[in-house]
């Protein structure tokens, strides 16, 4: 049985916004290169689409953290499951996140990454739910600010499902 999902941000809207963010990043880092750190798994779609639109040289790395199980509430405990392969030393690092909710994950992660001597360290998120913030994190690039709804699609999951949807949507019958 499949749940009913209503579209919140369409494929076209996402594409338009990703191009705008990529243009902004390309302008901000003109004459330099950027090192994107994709936070697995939720940021995969966003990272690759963004990377394709950035016009300055791009390198990619991947990290995996967990603060969530299969529930929709943050546990507040952040664990690094997979660290980066490359050194951050002297690089213009941009952490690419799917969504910032409580802020717990990125608050912790940015502290850890700042210790590794990057030339610069910024944060780019597709989605942000500011009303849910527990820890303050400075977000440099935000795709969309959304209300406190649990969303799926375009990389985001509910119990590992729906990541492949080309749009961001709300699962209507989440509690079943
Ligand atoms: P935070 O540490 O509470 O900011 O949570 C960040 C992580 O929680 C994100 O990277 C997502 O994996 C997950 N998350 C938070 N809100 C949602 C949502 O609405 N849908 C899917 N995943 C979410
Ligand atoms: Mg995530």
Structure letter (DSSP) for residue 132:
G
Which residue among 101, 140, 148, 173 is the active-site one?
101
Could you read off the pLDDT of 111-130 as tens digits, one per residue? 999 999 999 999 999 999 99
Based on the residue annotation, tell me whether 101 is a catalytic residue of this protein: yes
Which residues surround ligand 1 with Cβ inside 6 Å? 42, 67-68, 74, 97-105, 150-152, 156
- Architecture of the structural domain at 10-149: 3-Layer(aba) Sandwich (3.40)
CA distance 103 to 89: 25
The answer to whether 35 and 86 are in contact (CB under 8 A) is yes
**What are the distances in angstroms from CA 45 to CA 108, 126, 150?**
23, 10, 18
Could you read off the pLDDT of 51-87 as tens digits, one per residue? 999 999 999 999 999 875 555 556 667 889 999 999 9
| CA 32 to ligand 1 centroid distance, Å | 31
DSSP SS3 for 170 = strand
Burial class (CB in 10 A: 0-12, 13-18, 19+), 31: exposed
Rg, the chain, Cα only: 16
């Amino acid at each position: 049985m499949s749940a009913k999902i209503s579209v919140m941000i369409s494929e076209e809207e996402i594409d338009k916004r990703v191009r705008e963010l990529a243009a902004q990043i390309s302008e901000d880092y003109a004459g330099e290169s950027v090192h994107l750190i994709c936070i697995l798994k939720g940021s995969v779609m966003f990272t690759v689409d963004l990377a394709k639109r950035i016009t300055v040289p791009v390198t990619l790395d991947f990290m995996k953290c967990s603060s969530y199980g299969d529930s929709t509430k943050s546990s507040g405990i952040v664990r690094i499951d997979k660290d980066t392969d490359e050194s951050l030393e002297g690089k213009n690092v941009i952490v690419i996140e799917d969504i910032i909710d409580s802020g717990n994950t990125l608050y912790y992660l940015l502290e850890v990454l700042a210790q590794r001597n990057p030339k610069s360290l910024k944060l780019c998120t597709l989605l942000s739910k500011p009303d849910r913030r527990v820890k303050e994190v400075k977000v440099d690039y935000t795709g969309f600010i959304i209300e406190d709804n649990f969303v799926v699609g375009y990389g985001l999951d509910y119990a590992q499902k729906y990541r492949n949807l080309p749009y961001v949507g709300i699962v209507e019958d989440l509690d079943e």
